[in-house]
Amino acid sequence: MRATTLDIGFVPLIDAAPLIAAQEMGFAAEEGLSLTLRRAPSWASARDALTFGQVDAAHMLAPIPVSMALGLGGGGAGLEAISVLSVNGTVVGVSTDLAARMRAAGHPFDFADATAAGRALIAAGEGPLRIGVPFPFSMHAELVFYWLSSLGHPSPQSLIVRTVPPSLMADAIRAGEIDAFCVGEPWGSKVVESGMGQLLLPGAAVWAFAPEKVLATRSGWAASEPELSGRLIRAVWRAGRWLDDAGERSLASELLARREYLDVSPELIERAMSGQLAISPMGETRRVHRFIGFHDGAVSLPWRSQAAWIGGQIAARMGLDRDRAMRDAAAVFRSDLHRAALASTGSDLPAASVRIEGALTADTRAPSSRGGEIKLCRDVFFDGRRFDSGFS
Amino acid sequence: MAMVQPLSVVVVESDPDRARFIVDALVDGTDYKIHVVAERASLARQIAQIRPDLVLVDVADPSRDIIEELTLASGPLERPVALFVDRSDAGLSTAAIEAGLSAYVVDGLTSSRVKPVMEAAIARFHLMQRMRTELAETKRALEERKVIDRAKGLLMRARGITEDEAYSLLRKAAMDQNKRLAEVAAALVTAASLLG
């Protein structure tokens, strides 16, 4: 059988791994696909390449399809998420100066307690706190706003969230443009390597199961190409399963490191892939359970309640109607298409596509779509709040 | 008739030669106010201060995401900036994307005022893309020639043959192995350096 070629956009980050592994490890070939992976220099260009048909699907920040459904930001036709590619995998870090002030005030940099870290960060600030995130609509921005406003950060005027491309994060600290950042790996570790900053928290400490990247397609494409999009969803799903097999993370790091993908040293990638991060240039390391997830706990399912959470957060910040935003957001997380694609694999998914986000204080077994049970992972928010979209 | 203000255009480009090349195309007989922004660290702030009608940026520039922030401008004095491709005719948008150009225009600016700037910029970006490809090709060819010369030198010394004979030997090896001449030469040079 001759393989069908699909053009897929990606941004050089470790969470592009399911797409890279799908092609390199033969999961795409098993579905009769050949993926041409096209590296994008920015999220805006990945989005435009997708909306203008230069690629068929792309690695995308989970909040981008949501923000577009809400009519925010640039970009043309709408996008939808047909799979979640990864949960977590981001880090929060601070400049060397700020780290020194926080350490002097007694913060232990345990890389775990978001409440203590957030309080220490707010207390150590001199003037407004400027935080760099990769894109105005990103899980990074959402986590930062959620985290610091929950801790009662004084006012929006004193919290400035700026867009800084991941590869330029260290430069922005050097130029005195930002005091802290939230970014995907390996770019946080790269800041540590450059000596410009230290890592304060994994993103997972703020929300333990935050949908980070999705596989996005143009609205309507997947429904009009059910067979082709189904093959893509299955190939990427198998790649995610392979990546969550702990023994394979080292090989995956080698693949990702290649010049045509991330073009950084495999050692730097392996830190995040193994959950063993160096948090400071002095070499202090911290181990994080489930630093990034690709499969375990039904990662791949685009829960409509996840989209509703993102939509609700953006709406609250931008002054939009919250109920309407949550509905519009939920409509672009296509759990229906995702389920249809995986039905033929014998794999199991949760029975529901909506849940109370933040309700699982430990890994739990839940009813599955085949009448059995499936494991769901701990998904708490650091402040213990729960989010009920009200959808059923 | 009221005087029409000249269009204010920001060109985001850190390479001074490339910036000049783009600006030259735009100043040709038309009334624009052009600002080049080269420093990426404070990009959003600089653009906000200039308050341009139009922002032109290379698609390949990672700092493009910084400009996306301006699409959210909501203060009373700020004018929201939209990605050009949102609202112009599809042909021009596609042409811009193919040329590797992203343009952001301020809301409400009529397409007839933007079109000439866009067309000039698109033509220039196409030319730059061609030049970049040519430069890369030339560089590659030069590097290959250097490697082939070194491989020839190695063969001449090792086997006491002439340059022409060394070249024939390399070409034959390449044909036998169904490889490019430069690949065979590179393999030989690497092997020789390992053997010391």
Q: What is the per-residue pLDDT across B22-68, written as a single tens digit (0 to 9) for each?
A: 888 887 656 788 889 988 777 888 888 888 888 888 888 888 888 88
H helix or E strand, kind and range, residue B193: helix B181-195
pLDDT tens for each residue of A283-324: 899 999 999 999 999 999 999 999 999 999 999 988 899 999
> Span A90-209: which CATH code?
3.40.190.10
Which residue among A54, A163, A171 sits closest to B65, beta carbon to beta carbon? A163
pLDDT tens for each residue of A133-156: 999 999 999 999 999 999 987 666
Which of B87, B113, B134 finishes a domain?
B134
For residue A366, is pLDDT > 60? yes
Decide if B1 is inside a domain: no
Q: Where do the DSSP E strands lie in chain A?
A: 4-10, 33-39, 57-61, 79-88, 90-95, 129-133, 159-163, 180-184, 197-202, 211-218, 276-278, 285-287, 292-293, 364-367, 373-376
> Span A4-86+210-262+293-346: which CATH code?
3.40.190.10
Same domain, B105 and B44: yes
The arithmetic mean of pLDDT across residues A212-240, rounded, is 97
The confidence score (pLDDT) of residue B1 equals: 43
Q: Which residue of A has its CA nearest to B70?
A: A73
The confidence score (pLDDT) of residue B115 equals: 79
Q: Which of A43, A48, A196 to mutate to test the interface with B (most CBs of B within 10 A)?
A: A48
Decide if B2 is inside a domain: no
Percent of chain A past pLDDT 70, that is, above it, reads: 98
Q: Cα Rg for chain A, rounded, in angstroms? A: 20
Residues of B in contact with A49 (CB under 8 A): 97
Decide if B36 is inside a domain: yes
pLDDT tens for each residue of A98-144: 999 999 999 999 999 999 999 999 999 888 999 999 999 999 999 99
Same domain, B153 and B61: no
Same domain, B108 and B19: yes
Whole-number Å distance between alpha carbons of B4 and B64: 29
Same domain, B92 and B148: no
Percent of chain A past pLDDT 90, that is, above it, reads: 88
Whole-number Å distance between alpha carbons of A360 and A387: 12
Does the beta-carbon distance from A175 to B41 stay under 8 Å? yes
The confidence score (pLDDT) of residue B58 equals: 87
Whole-number average pLDDT of chain A:
94
The DSSP code for A206 is: T
**Residue A93 — pLDDT band, cuts 50, 70, 90?**
very high
Same domain, B85 and B141: no
If you search the block for the tokens 């590619």, which residue do you land on? A85
Whole-number Å distance between alpha carbons of B122 and A36: 27
For residue B71, is pLDDT > 90? no
What is the distance in angstroms between the CA of the first residue and the CA of the last residue of chain A?
Answer: 43
Residues of A in contact with B100 (CB under 8 A): none
For residue A337, is pLDDT > 90? yes
The confidence score (pLDDT) of residue A113 equals: 97
> Pick from A349, A389, A390, A391: which is nearest to A372 by CA?
A349
Same domain, B160 and B176: yes
Same domain, B125 and B141: no
Which residue among B40, B42, B71 sits closest to A74, beta carbon to beta carbon? B71
This prediction's pTM? 0.86
Domain interval for residue B144: 137-195
Same domain, B19 and B109: yes
Which of B100, B115, B134 finishes a domain?
B134
Which residue among B44, B74, B97 sits closest to A163, beta carbon to beta carbon? B44
Give residues with Cβ within 8 angstroms of A113, minimum separation 6.
A205
Decide if B31 is inside a domain: yes
Which of B87, B114, B134 finishes a domain?
B134
Does the beta-carbon distance from B83 to A52 stay under 8 Å? no
State the amino acid at position A258 in one-letter form. R
pLDDT tens for each residue of A19-56: 999 999 999 999 999 999 999 999 999 998 998 889 99
Residues of B in contact with A52 (CB under 8 A): 85, 93-94, 97
DSSP string, A287-317: E-TTSEESSTTTTTS--HHHHHHHHHHHHHH
Same domain, B112 and B97: yes
The confidence score (pLDDT) of residue A248 equals: 84
The answer to whether B69 faces chain A, any CB pair under 8 Å, is yes
Decide if B47 is inside a domain: yes
Decide if B61 is inside a domain: yes
The CB-side HSE value for A355 (13 A sphere, CA atoms) comes to: 22
What is the ipTM metric for this complex?
Answer: 0.83
Same domain, B118 and B29: yes
Which residue among B66, B71, B97 sits closest to A48, beta carbon to beta carbon? B97
What CATH number has the domain bearing residue B34? 3.40.190
**Residue B108 — pLDDT band, cuts 50, 70, 90?**
low
Q: What is the three-class DSSP state of A63?
A: helix
Compute CA distances A147 → A94, A382, B117, whole Å. Answer: 15, 8, 44
Shortest distance between the Cα of A377 and any Cα of chain B, in A, equals: 33
* Structural domain boundaries in chain A: 4-86+210-262+293-346, 90-209
Number of domains in chain B: 2
The arithmetic mean of pLDDT across residues A249-267, rounded, is 95
Decide if B69 is inside a domain: yes
Decide if B12 is inside a domain: yes
